[in-house]
A and B are shown apart, each in its own frame.
Chain A
């Protein structure tokens, strides 16, 4: 069955780089896109960016200068890297599969930006 699971450090210091991994199973990264969505504690959802089935990427313009999304199809993994982290980047980060719509989601990983 389709599954996605996020992993990464729970705590990151301000100005440092966040690295997250989304490991997927039950579908191919070359036939589906994977998106990242984040949710600050107690707040709403924000689309972060995507890697499409062909390998191209799209980013939220508000984050574009700090963001990179890549993948390793042999390992069924998608990677998110975001630099120059600030406290406002504290959030749950979800990865989600998309076939036009975000139909399967990971459980999310809580990332806290704090010294």
Chain B
């Protein structure tokens, strides 16, 4: 199984700051990587797909990048509504696996 090592586990930042969350894949997954945001009591919402493509309706302050088998989600100009838990997902091979999640809180 492909392991997705996500860091940090938690993060606290101030509005307007820039934050970065990373996922390291245990093997090559190409661009088969997505990022999701989940708010309490809600289902996950797709933010980024194919490592770098912004999903419909997602603000442009969210962006994704890739360097080899390391993937990053950057949130520029952090907003209060960005609090939640962020997960990466690899869809390269079965079983599809998620990172453990990053809990983002605003100061």
Partners in one complex: yes
- A107, B43: Cβ atoms closer than 8 Å: yes
Given contacts A45-B87, A100-B49, contact A106 B43 (CB under 8 A): yes
Interface of A, helix, strand, loop or mixed by DSSP: strand
For the residues of B in contact with A, the DSSP-based class is: loop
Q: Judge whether B91 and A101 touch: CB under 8 Å.
A: yes
Q: A100-B49, A102-B89, A103-B46 are in contact. Are A58 and B34 (CB under 8 A)?
A: no
The verdict on A44 contacting chain B, using a C-beta distance below 8 Å, is yes
Residues in chain A near residue B1, CB distance under 8 A: 61
Assess whether B44 is interfacial by the CB under 8 Å rule: yes
- With both beta carbons as reference points, the residue of chain B lying nearest to A6 in the complex is identified as B43
Q: Which of B49, B98, B100, B101 contacts A101 (CB 8 A)?
A: B49
Whether A101 contacts B34 in the complex (CB less than 8 A), given A44-B87, A107-B43, comes out as yes
Q: How many residues of B contact A (CB 8 A)?
A: 23
Could you say which residues of chain B place their CB within 8 Å of the CB of A46? 98
User: What residues of B have a CB within 8 angstroms of the CB of A60 in the complex?
Assistant: 94-95
Complex-state Cα separation, A103 to B1, whole angstroms: 23
Contacts of A45 in B (CB 8 A): 36, 38, 44, 87, 89, 98, 101
Enumerate chain B interface residues (CB-CB to A < 8 A).
1, 34, 36, 38, 42-46, 49-50, 55, 87, 89, 91, 94-101
Residues in A lying within 8 Å of B, measured CB to CB: 35, 37, 44-47, 58, 60-62, 94, 96, 100-103, 105-108
Please name 20 further chain A to chain B contacts, defined as beta carbons within 8 Å, in addition to the given A45-B87, A47-B97, A62-B95, sorted by A numbering.
Answer: A44-B101, A45-B44, A45-B98, A47-B95, A47-B96, A47-B98, A60-B94, A61-B95, A100-B50, A100-B91, A101-B34, A101-B46, A101-B55, A102-B34, A102-B36, A102-B44, A102-B89, A105-B45, A107-B42, A107-B43
